[in-house]
Amino acid sequence: MVDWEEQLVEAGCRLTTARRAVIQVLATTTTPLSPHEVWQRGRLLQPALGLASVYRALGLLEELGFARRVHYEEGCHGYMPASPGHQHTILCRACGQAAEFPGSEDLDGLVARVQRDTGYQVEDHLLQLVGVCPACQAAR
């Protein structure tokens, strides 16, 4: 994993104790965590950590490309570490584990068709797949 702390400083951001705690929590997770879960785990590292600080840190980490927001079918979202480059997420419906897969330019045809059919100018996209991971498939 990229040295987020060093890159935060290089980006001109202060490395606060709250940001450090959020980074440590995200760096050790294999499932997306809600802001509340990040806060709960972060308080074990930094007892004075506030929930508002967690939200701000997650927003900054997402903006800088270090964290990825994962959307659940229930409508809420979680965060997980993001790999460098254009990546998308696949989420296991059974256990909640998530994995990244490389983004692709294969969406160009779809984007062109959507723009043509709707008149919208597409500026960005979010792509997330939902399925069942190999471990949960084996357990069935």
Least Cα distance to 68 among 47, 52, 89, 50 occurs for 89
Say if residue 74's pLDDT is above 80.
Answer: no
Mean pLDDT of the chain: 89
d(CA 117, CA 58): 36
Which carries the bigger pLDDT value, residue 74 or residue 34?
34
Give the model's pLDDT for residue 105: 66
Say if residue 1's pLDDT is above 70.
Answer: no
Q: What is the dihedral of CA 89, 93, 96, 101, to 10 degrees?
A: -20
Give the model's pLDDT for residue 88: 86
Give the model's pLDDT for residue 133: 93
Rounded mean pLDDT, 74-99: 86
Give the model's pLDDT for residue 121: 95
Give the DSSP letter string of 112-128: HHHHHHH---------E
- Burial group, residue 104, by CB count within 10 angstroms (0-12, 13-18, 19+): exposed
Domains of the chain: 1-83 (1.10.10.10), 85-140 (3.30.1490.190)
d(CA 72, CA 61): 20
Between the CA of residue 130 and those of 2, 29, 89, what are the distances in Å? 26, 19, 8
Give the model's pLDDT for residue 2: 45
Say if residue 122's pLDDT is above 80.
Answer: yes
